[in-house]
Amino acid sequence: MEKIGECLEKLSLEARELYLESRVRELVRPPSPLVFLRDYVSKNVPVVIRGGCTNWGACKKWSHTYLREKIGENLVTVSWTPNGFADAVYDGWFTLPDEKIMKFKKFLDLLESSKNGDDAEDCGEGGVGEDNNEVSGMPKSRGSQLERGVYYIQKQNSCLTTEYRDLREDVDDSILWAEEAFGCKPDAINFWMGEKDAVTSHVYPVARFKMMKKSKREETIDDNHSNKNNNKNNNHNNRNHHYNNGDDTYTLVDENNTVKWTPVDPINPDLDRYPNYARTRPLEVKVQRGDMLYLPSLWFHHVRQSHGCIAVNYWYDMSYDIKYNYFKLVESLIDLDGAKKMMKQ
pLDDT tens-place string over residues 31-83: 999 999 999 999 999 999 999 999 999 999 999 999 999 999 999 999 988 88
253 in Cβ contact with 110 (< 8 Å): no
Residues in a beta bridge with 192? 311
* CATH number of the domain where residue 120 is located: 2.60.120.10
Residue type, 78: V
319: left (phi over 0), alpha (psi -120 to 50) or beta: beta
Q: pLDDT (tens digit, 9 = 90+) per residue, 128-187?
A: 223 333 333 333 334 555 566 888 998 888 999 999 999 999 999 999 999 999 999 999
Question: What is d(CA 40, CA 36) in angstroms, rounded to the nearest whole number?
Answer: 5
Higher pLDDT, 115 or 286: 286
Domain count of the fold of the chain: 1
Q: Does the predicted model carry a pTM greater than 0.85?
A: no
Classified as helix, coil or strand, 30 is coil
Give Cα 156 to chain centroid, integer Å. 10
**Contact partners, residue 262, CB within 8 Å, separation at least 6:** 89, 201, 203, 230, 232, 233, 234, 300
- Model confidence pLDDT, tens digit, residues 242-268: 555 555 566 667 766 677 777 788 888
What does the pLDDT read at residue 61? 94
Task: Tell me phi and psi for residue 171, to 5 degrees.
Answer: -130, 160
Indicate whether 203 pLDDT > 70. Answer: no
Strand ranges inside 91-196, DSSP E? 93-96, 98-103, 150-153, 188-194
36 contacts 178 by C-beta, under 8 angstroms: yes
97/216: higher pLDDT: 97
Dihedral (Cα; 48, 215, 91, 146), 10-degree rounding: -150
- Segments forming the whole domain that contains residue 263: 4-344
Helix (H, G, I), strand (E, B) or coil at 238: strand
